[in-house]
Amino acid sequence: MSAVDLRELRAGLLAAGLGGRAFTEAYTEVVDEWLRLLFAQVLDGEEDGVVLLAVGGYGRRELCPASDLDLVLLHERGKSVSGVAEALWYPVWDAGLHLDHSVRTPRELVVMAGKDLKVALGLLTARPVAGDTSLAARALEGVRRDWTNRPRTSLARLREAVMERWDASGDVAFLLEPDLKQSRGGLRDVEALGAAALATPIAAPALEDEAFVAAHDVLLDVRVALHSVTGRQADVLRREDQAEVAEWLTMAERAALSLAVASAGRRIAWAAEDTWDRIESSLEGPGRRGGRDVAVEPDIVLRDGEMAIEASASPALDDSLPFRVCAAAARGGVPVARDTLRRLALQPPAPSTSVRWSDDARHALVSLLGCGPVAVRHMETLDAIGVLTHYLPEWDAVRNRPQRDAYHTYTVDRHLLEAAGGAAALVRSVHRPDLLLMGALLHDIGKGAASGDHTSAGMAMIVDIARRMAFDESDVETLELLVRDHLLLAETATRRDIDDPATVGTVAARVETVERLELLAALTEADALATGPTAWSKWKAELVAELVLRTRDRLGGAVPEPFRESPTPELRRLMARRKLQVVPDRGTITVVAPDQPGLLAVVAGTFTLHRIGVRSAVATSEDGMAADIFYVDMAREAFPDWVRLEHDLSAALEDPARLHARLVDRMRSVRSSRRAAVAGTDVVVDNDATPRATVLEVRTDDGPGVLHRVAHVLGEHGLDILSAKVETLGHEVVDTFYVRTASEGAKLTDPVALARVCDAIVAGANPE
């Protein structure tokens, strides 16, 4: 069989529709047969003392269309095989296969495996392809014996490598572009658990679990499809390939692929984490294992370093038991015994959306969530064994549901668990910790709804769930409010002017009581921290805290001060100089200049050229002079060149058209390095937020110069900008402008004029 024949056979397998494990096994057989023929030709009957080994993925029969071919030419000491190696490797290269090859004696094989974990893992599943099989058996047995005879050393080496990889590679389930091999929950974790199972029986149950095997098969399916679509060796499922991969797998859309990958990754990751926890517990020695049961609470004991339920306990009769045993395990820092998990899965209470929980069950769930981040793993365990949905059937719809954008780190269900885990650290800031924890767990439960606004759907769901959990009606109303308004404080603080008394009045009217305000403030922080690294910053925290403080005062009966737009005495002093000035002060830059239309647009554009990110801006003017205060992102390696910035700003004020042209050139130069726009542009008009201005909220794709372009459009349409706020949400930004007509100083209420402005913003925010 020639190299051409091999390529044609591989193409034939793909054309026949083989995918996943069916393809990898069939393709492995084809390559095996090709190498056997090649080996026989090269050795010409002199095969004693030499054997060709398949290593790694090839050894495991997981050969994908563009996989490396990992081969070891093993020979007895003293037997010359240099010519044999060259005669084998060159045809492999000619066939277009990537080759990872080595030539070793049995002793060298064992020594290398002892020194290099990657080599050891490849050899633990190695197999002979052609040649002296008895030599292969002796050598590979030596490698495996060395691995299994020193289980503590082997498992410690392997666990350390797994943890390092997890820290470096993220999660298959949560990445926009997951690495199907290296990320947590990927194929490397399956390989690692297989190696662990050779050293300890603790790892075997995970590998034998049907859901785990199915998840493994899904990732193989996707990897084969990815290789087939791209025509190259690829493990990272990039967004530009996902639609084609989904089509290759006959999935309806990319979202179905994302859900399948997330589900598989979550299952493998949970099994891996659970197994390594149990292995770590076993490695700590007899101090935590063996001996008598230690009673922890009714029906729950600590047994052999694991939390277990007693034989007399009945999960079917005690609906608090699953949450109680997990809470005890979380507090004790130990896993729940596997036998207990099996009993919980086999004897859950009957699933129902109408059966009322006992008070004990509700208190036990709150107790578990109150354990903080460690509770996340135990909640995922209850979900993995099918128990959680017996209590919360609504959980099915959010399980593994992707939120595929750079703003959200996790799937919907994991986000909810992380929010609840984070809320535990904030329980001392509220009067009702139970409502905070439950609100955090369920605030996005509506994202599982088939259609419509997730907040409205979640409000209906939370009422049913809270009543089923046996909360009283006032608590049900509070939980409904938390779901309804879980974004209220963050969005108001970052998109509305909190110096405007109308803003604080609106928030106070919605929350009604200080106790609910406290709950909402804590939920806001927990939600943001569980969303992703860009969702909660010192700037946002300070804005939310200030809004909460003012709202608390309003609820306490404080009389709001009237809104003042007049310049402060310090600004008046600067404006009296009657010239352009740029005054930096930590996180703010004040720009004073002769008043002219479009001043904010010019300043924002100049800041863009100097790579200064604007978070918000406030404008004021008096006697022909204007002062714009910009709150900026100063987290830079070096501060701007202030002299050059002032010079460029002066030139831009004299010739705004030249500035606009420079920004267009810059946008054109960076466009090729950015992804295509995802969401387009939407404009929301709010004429009820405050009596002093029309609020325009612009959602558009992120990119350089957005604030400048929108402000420029507003100026062209005769609008003065009183203030502006900027918030970045992953791939998009939300720019909020308080505007009045320049001619009359009034709100923009004419529907025709409003429509014209909105259309112009959409056209100008992200031009092609």
Indicate whether 281 pLDDT > 90.
no
Q: Do domains 152-283 and 394-555 have the same CATH topology?
A: no
Question: Could you give the CA distance from residue 374 to residue 367 in angstroms, rounded to a whole number?
Answer: 12
Q: What pLDDT sits at residue 352?
A: 62
Quickly state the pLDDT bin for 291 (edges 50, 70, 90).
low
Using a pLDDT cut of 70, give the percent of the chain over it.
Answer: 93
DSSP assignment of 608-641: HHTT-EEEEEEEEEETTEEEEEEEEE---SS---
Question: Could you give the CA distance from residue 711 to residue 708 in angstroms, rounded to a whole number?
Answer: 5
Using a pLDDT cut of 90, give the percent of the chain over it.
Answer: 63
- In the DSSP assignment, the letter for residue 202 is G
Indicate whether 728 pLDDT > 60.
yes
Q: What pLDDT sits at residue 563?
A: 62
- In the DSSP assignment, the letter for residue 250 is T
Rounded mean pLDDT of the chain?
89
CATH label, 152-283, candidates 1.20.120.330, 3.30.2130.10, 1.10.760.10, 1.10.3720.10: 1.20.120.330
Quickly state the pLDDT bin for 668 (edges 50, 70, 90).
low
Closest CA to 544 of 533, 529, 557, 559: 529
**CA-to-CA separations, 334 to 327, 329, 363, 374, 551, in angstroms, rounded:** 10, 5, 21, 10, 43
Q: Do 267 and 384 form a contact (C-beta atoms < 8 A)?
A: yes
Q: Is the pLDDT higher at 704 or at 525?
A: 525
Quickly state the pLDDT bin for 598 (edges 50, 70, 90).
confident
In this prediction, residues 291-309 reach a mean pLDDT of 90
In this prediction, residues 156-175 reach a mean pLDDT of 93
Q: Return the C-alpha torsion angle 193, 196, 201, 206, nearest 10.
A: -10
Indicate whether 588 pLDDT > 90.
no
CATH label, 394-555, candidates 2.60.40, 1.10.3470, 1.10.3210, 3.10.450: 1.10.3210
Q: What's this model's pTM, rounded to 2 decimal places?
A: 0.82
Sign of the CA dihedral running 265, 270, 273, 274: negative
Question: Could you give the CA distance from residue 37 to residue 23 in angstroms, rounded to a whole number?
Answer: 21
Q: Is the pLDDT higher at 53 or at 532?
A: 53
Q: Return the C-alpha torsion angle 387, 389, 390, 391, nearest 10.
A: 100
Closest CA to 313 of 303, 305, 503: 303
Indicate whether 587 pLDDT > 90.
no
Q: What pLDDT sits at residue 72?
A: 95
601-655 pLDDT, tens digit each: 899 899 888 888 887 788 888 888 988 888 887 555 456 788 899 999 999 999 8
The residue to which tokens 């004073």 are assigned? 592
In this prediction, residues 474-478 reach a mean pLDDT of 96
Q: What pLDDT sits at residue 673?
A: 44
Contacts of 668 (CB under 8 A, 6+ apart): none
Q: Is the pLDDT higher at 289 or at 271?
A: 271
| Domain limits, the chain | 3-149, 152-283, 394-555, 569-765
**CA-to-CA separations, 63 to 103, 133, 459, 542, in angstroms, rounded:** 21, 21, 49, 54
Domain covering 3-149 assigned CATH 2.102.10.10 in the classification = no
In this prediction, residues 667-679 reach a mean pLDDT of 52
238-251 pLDDT, tens digit each: 999 999 999 999 99
Q: What pLDDT sits at residue 679?
A: 56
Q: What pLDDT sits at residue 58?
A: 95
Let me know the angle formed at the C-alpha of 120 by 114 and 126, rounded to the nearest 5 degrees: 135
Q: Return the C-alpha torsion angle 180, 184, 188, 190, nearest 10.
A: -110
373-426 pLDDT, tens digit each: 999 999 999 999 999 999 999 999 999 998 866 678 899 999 999 999 999 999
